Amino acid sequence: MPPSPAAALALAPVADELGLTVKLLGTPAEEYGGGKVDLLNAGAFDDVAAAMMVHAAPVDGVGMTSLAIGSWKVRYTGRPAHAAAMPHRGINAADAMLVAQVAISAYRQQMIPDGVVHGVVTGGGEAPNVIPARVTADYDCRAATAEDLAELQVRIRACFEAGAHATGAELALEAVGNDYADLRQDLAISAAYRNAVAGLGRDIADTADSMRAGSTDMGNVSHVVPTIHPVIGYDCGDTIMHNPEFTRYGTGAGADRAVLDGGLAMAWTALILATDQDQRTSLLTRLAGRSKATRP
234 and 108 in one domain? no
Choose the final residue of a domain: 143, 175, 207: 175
pLDDT digits 0-9 by tens, 244-272: 777 776 677 877 888 899 999 999 999 99
pLDDT over threshold 80, residue 241: no
Distance CA 139, CA 122 (A): 10
Is the CB of residue 188 less than 8 Å from the CB of residue 282?
Answer: yes
pLDDT digits 0-9 by tens, 114-143: 899 999 999 998 899 999 999 999 999 999
Is the CB of residue 183 less than 8 Å from the CB of residue 216?
Answer: yes
Distance CA 56, CA 214 (A): 13
Give the model's pLDDT for residue 210: 46
pLDDT over threshold 60, residue 91: yes
Q: What is the domain-level CATH number for residue 268?
A: 3.40.630.10
Structural domain of 128: 68-175
Q: What is the domain-level CATH number for residue 95?
A: 3.30.70.360
pLDDT digits 0-9 by tens, 208-230: 444 555 899 999 999 999 999 99
Instruction: Name the domain count of the chain.
Output: 2
Characterise 237 by phi-psi region: left (phi > 0), alpha (psi -120 to 50), beta (else).
left
Q: Kindly write down the DSSP assignment for every residue of 72-126, as one continuous string.
A: EEEEEE-B--BTTT-GGG-B-HHHHHHHHHHHHHHHGGGPPTT-EEEEEEEEE-S
30 and 88 in one domain? no
pLDDT digits 0-9 by tens, 63-90: 888 999 999 999 999 999 999 999 999 9
62 and 72 in one domain? no
Please indicate, yes or no, whether the overall pTM of this predicted structure exceeds 0.85.
yes
